[in-house]
Amino acid sequence: MNELRVVVSDEIAARLTERAQQEHTTPEALAGEAVVSYLGPAPSTPRRISFIGIGHSGRSDVSERAEEILNEHFGQ
């Protein structure tokens, strides 16, 4: 985690403190939640499916002939 210093007006600081007390948390935690709410959640790392790309069909034209190949093996 990183610590970030943010400068706000006295009015905003008072409102933040009051709201934090109402929610039984700290002004810092509430401000952190506000930043996450503004930015949205961190993008997750895309999940890799482990078996994709491990085999070799012996064909170099699979993408060009996908429909034809599927029909050969699975019918129309």
**Domain range for residue 21?**
10-39
AA identity, residue 67: E
Better-scored residue on pLDDT, 52 or 13: 13
Within a domain: 27: yes
Q: Rounded distance, CA 31 to CA 38, Å?
A: 11
Within a domain: 30: yes
Quick one: average pLDDT of 6-13? 95
The number of domains in the chain is 1
Task: Answer for the pair 16, 27: CB distance below 8 angstroms, yes or no.
Answer: yes
Taking only the tens place, the pLDDT of each residue in 42-72 is 777 666 666 666 666 676 777 778 788 788 8
Within a domain: 25: yes
Query: Can you give the pTM of this predicted structure?
Result: 0.52
The helix (H) or strand (E) run that includes residue 22 is helix 10-22
